[in-house]
Chain A
Amino acid sequence: MKLTLPRAALAAAVLPLLLWAAPAAAEPAAANTMDVKIDNFTFAPQRITVKAGTTVTWTNEDDIPHTVVANQKAFKSKVLDTDDKYTFTFTTAGTYDYFCSLHPHMTGTVVVEPATGGGAAP
């Protein structure tokens, strides 16, 4: 993209500010969301690690309904038919084991790390 001189000067001035403000890890802006796919009676990825404040979205791509239920009752979805989604925002650090209450042999884990700390890549 061709910038006219004044705009280029502006970009040159602003860019260092942006680079300074951005996290050191080259993560996309959606760093506070995570997706889990439900298919073939499995949660994939089965184990995820996120920072506190992350919103996790489960999407049921299976041809049978499933649910997302925390072992220690921190969260519980309604029944999810094919293409239904469930989201939960993890605000507190900890390890959250969960399972599908229809098919309890389906299990998953969300490890939530504290939000504080440097922006080092996980």
Chain B
Amino acid sequence: MTSSNDHGEGLSRRKVLECMTWAGTGVLWTVAGGVPKSLGLVGEANAQTAGFTFLQISDSHVGFDKPANPNALGTLEEAVNKIKAEKTKPAFLIHTGDIAHLSKPSEFDDAERVISQAKLDVHYVPGEHDVIDEDTGKLYMERFGKGTKGQGWYSFDANGVHFVGLVNVMDLKGGGMGNLGNEQLAWLENDLKGRSASTPIVLFAHIPLWVVYKEWGWGTEDGERALGMIKRFGSVTVLNGHIHQIIQKVEGNVAFHTARSTAFLQPAPGTAPSPGPLKVEDAKLRTVLGTASISVVPGNQRLAIVDTPLVG
């Protein structure tokens, strides 16, 4: 890969338009990871990398039993059944945290038992509801922390995409939001060092890495430091949970996505006195719960994210 686009500026609009005018001569250009490449003549476009799909599931809150959803384990099972019924088998699952509700061993047991019915590898990161055992996260680390660093962060590669699981629910300070901490940020910087800017990056963490709504703590105090490190990459996808609703935005090469919960809905920012569980009529519950599929599409810089409710 050339280094001409490694200054973190990405592809300018003019450059894309210039490239597009060549399409008239029969040369098809595409952009993969911020670097334009020709795919040969129109009609001969062969994918350089195979596409693949993975799923994001979040905020299962197993153990929750209040009016907003008396059976969080049941709706998690419905979500898993829906995943099993999909025609295209996803490569793996990412769970962006709040697996359990009160960090009880029985809750973790039930969640794992149900999620394993999908028969897929699952990559977890903890939510704040997963680290409220008396030892502040020891239970989570025992079950889901194998091979991770520090308080549970890690990275892995799949089909040419680099995935990074971050933990932003530990060592929180009064009055603050999510927290990554210096040790994790130093690890992240080292983890990304030397990677080509055309490597698609997927960051996943429980609390949104950008500030969605400060008044409700929906953000990460030092999230900007992590986002600064991935700015140079041509394709970045940030997957979060915590807020139990879909909020998306695109900034340059970075696409942000928060997922629905499989347990209960929370109000949109500022529309209620507090971000507590929001009861909807029983007939509507499954329309506000769901999962998301994320696909790497050959020749596309941006990953395709499709949110699917449990019903509807």
Q: How many A-B residue pairs have CB under 8 A?
A: 64
Q: A67 interface residue, CB < 8 Å from B?
A: yes
Pick from A41, A42, A71, A102: contact of B129, CB under 8 Å? A102
Instruction: List the A side residues contacting B274 at CB < 8 Å.
Output: 40-42, 62
Query: Using a CB-CB cutoff of 8 Å, which residues 169-188 of chain B contact chain A?
Result: 172-177
User: Known contacts being A79-B132, A105-B217, is A40 close to B276, with CB within 8 Å?
Assistant: yes
Q: A113 interface residue, CB < 8 Å from B?
A: no
| Further pairs besides A63-B68, A102-B129: 7, Cβ < 8 Å | A42-B274, A62-B276, A63-B66, A81-B102, A103-B217, A104-B173, A107-B174
Q: A11 interface residue, CB < 8 Å from B?
A: no
Q: B36 interface residue, CB < 8 Å from A?
A: no
Closest residue of chain B to A98 (Cβ to Cβ) is: B174
User: Known contacts being A67-B132, A79-B102, A97-B174, is A105 close to B215, with CB within 8 Å?
Assistant: yes
Q: Which residues of B contact A (CB under 8 A)?
A: 66-68, 101-103, 128-129, 132, 134, 172-177, 214-217, 273-277
In the complex, A5→B175 CA distance in Å?
64
Instruction: List the A side residues contacting B275 at CB < 8 Å.
Output: 41, 103
Q: A47 interface residue, CB < 8 Å from B?
A: no
Instruction: List the A side residues contacting B67 at CB < 8 Å.
Output: 63
In the complex, A12→B192 CA distance in Å?
85
Q: Mark A65-89, 1 if CB is under 8 A from B, else 0.
A: 1010101000000110110000000
Contact A101 B217 (CB under 8 A): no
Closest residue of chain B to A67 (Cβ to Cβ) is: B132
Contact A105 B132 (CB under 8 A): no
Closest residue of chain B to A79 (Cβ to Cβ) is: B132
In the complex, A63→B278 CA distance in Å?
10
**Minimal beta-carbon separation of A13 from chain B (angstroms):** 54
User: Known contacts being A40-B276, A64-B276, A64-B277, is A105 close to B103, with CB within 8 Å?
Assistant: no
In the complex, A13→B236 CA distance in Å?
85
- Majority secondary structure of chain B interface residues (helix, strand, loop or mixed): loop
In the complex, A118→B1 CA distance in Å?
79
Instruction: List the B side residues contacting A98 at CB < 8 Å.
Output: 174
Q: A99 interface residue, CB < 8 Å from B?
A: yes
User: Known contacts being A64-B277, A98-B174, A105-B176, is A79 close to B217, with CB within 8 Å?
Assistant: no
In the complex, A98→B173 CA distance in Å?
9
In the complex, A122→B13 CA distance in Å?
67
In the complex, A69→B66 CA distance in Å?
24
Contact B273 A40 (CB under 8 A): yes
Query: Using a CB-CB cutoff of 8 Å, which residues 33-69 of chain A contact chain B?
Result: 40-42, 62-65, 67, 69
Instruction: List the A side residues contacting B101 at CB < 8 Å.
Output: 65
Closest residue of chain B to A65 (Cβ to Cβ) is: B102
Instruction: List the B side residues contacting A78 at CB < 8 Å.
Output: 134
Instruction: List the B side residues contacting A97 at CB < 8 Å.
Output: 174
Which of B134, B172, B277 gathers the greatest number of chain A CB atoms within 10 Å?
B172
Closest residue of chain B to A99 (Cβ to Cβ) is: B174
Instruction: List the A side residues contacting B214 at CB < 8 Å.
Output: 105
**Minimal beta-carbon separation of B83 from chain A (angstroms):** 27
In the complex, A119→B73 CA distance in Å?
55
Instruction: List the B side residues contacting A104 at CB < 8 Å.
Output: 172-177, 217
**Minimal beta-carbon separation of B108 from chain A (angstroms):** 14
Which of B67, B175, B216, B277 gathers the greatest number of chain A CB atoms within 10 Å?
B175
Instruction: List the B side residues contacting A79 at CB < 8 Å.
Output: 102-103, 132
